[in-house]
């Protein structure tokens, strides 16, 4: 199984809502990532988890809150988002120690209204 599964595929939320994005992998990878991709732009790294611990936060606003409950799951909790946060959110995973490529999920298309 070389898949990274993200749910939901599409999400529309209001600026006062709380929602969560989910990501799951069963490849035994111990590094997991959240990337944000605006239209016509490359993905930009948001967070890195290594062995279930947050290792990198690329100065992401606190309205985005990541969580890694176990080695297979990665969540991104969303609260009080702004319309400019509308984007494709991509989850990825890679083998332990960073000695390999990242596998990406299909993304969650988020629209903030």
Partner 1 sequence: AQSVTQPDIHITVSEGASLELRCNYSYGATPYLFWYVQSPGQGLQLLLKYFSGDTLVQGIKGFEAEFKRSQSSFNLRKPSVHWSDAAEYFCAGARYNQGGKLIFGQGTELSVKP
**Which stretches of the chain bind partner 1, using CB under 8 A?**
4, 6, 31, 33, 35, 40-45, 48, 56, 88, 90, 92-95, 97-107, 109
Check: CB of residue 83 under 8 Å from CB of residue 18. no
What 3-state class would DSSP assign to 98? helix
CB of 80 to partner 1, least distance (A): 26
CB of 59 to partner 1, least distance (A): 15
Nearer to partner 1, 47 or 64 (CB): 47
Q: Interior CA angle at 82 toward 80 and 88, to 5°? A: 105
CB of 100 to partner 1, least distance (A): 5
């Amino acid at each position: 199984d070389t898949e990274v599964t993200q749910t939901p595929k599409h999400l529309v939320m209001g600026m006062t809502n709380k929602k969560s994005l989910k990501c799951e992998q069963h490849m035994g990878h111990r590094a997991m990532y959240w990337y944000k991709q605006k239209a016509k732009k490359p993905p930009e790294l948001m967070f890195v988890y290594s062995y279930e611990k947050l290792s990198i936060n690329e100065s992401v606003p606190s309205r985005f809150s990541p969580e890694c409950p176990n080695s297979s799951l990665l969540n991104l909790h969303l609260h009080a988002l702004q319309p400019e946060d509308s984007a494709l959110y991509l989850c990825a995973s890679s083998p332990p120690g960073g000695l390999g490529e990242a596998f990406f999920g299909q993304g969650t298309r988020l629209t903030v209204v």
